[in-house]
Amino acid sequence: MSIRSNVILLVMSLAVALPANAASRQEKRVSDATDVINQLLQIPEQSVPPSLLSQAYGIAVIPSVVKVGFGLGARRGKGIAVVRQEDGSWSNPAFVTLTGGSIGWQIGAQSTDIILVFKSRRGVDGIETGKLTLGADASIAAGPVGRSAEAATDIQFQAEVYSYSRSRGLFAGISLEGAGLTIDKKSNAAFYGEAGITPHKIFASPANFAPSVANNFVQVLTAQTRRLPKQPGMQPTVNAERVDEQSESSVRTFGIEEAEAPESWQ
Using the predicted structure, report yes or no on whether residue 11 has a pLDDT greater than 80: no
Q: pLDDT tens digits, residue range 123-182?
A: 888 888 878 888 888 888 888 887 655 544 444 557 899 999 888 778 888 888 889 999
Three-state SS letters, 101-142:
EEEEEEEEEEEEEEEEEECCHHHHHHHHHCEEEECCCECEEE
Per-residue confidence band for 35, with pLDDT thresholds at 50, 70 and 90:
very high
pLDDT, residue 230, reads: 52
Q: Parallel, antiparallel, or unpaired for β 161-167 and 140-142?
A: parallel
Using the predicted structure, report yes or no on whether residue 95 has a pLDDT greater than 90: yes
pTM: 0.74
Per-residue confidence band for 109, with pLDDT thresholds at 50, 70 and 90:
low
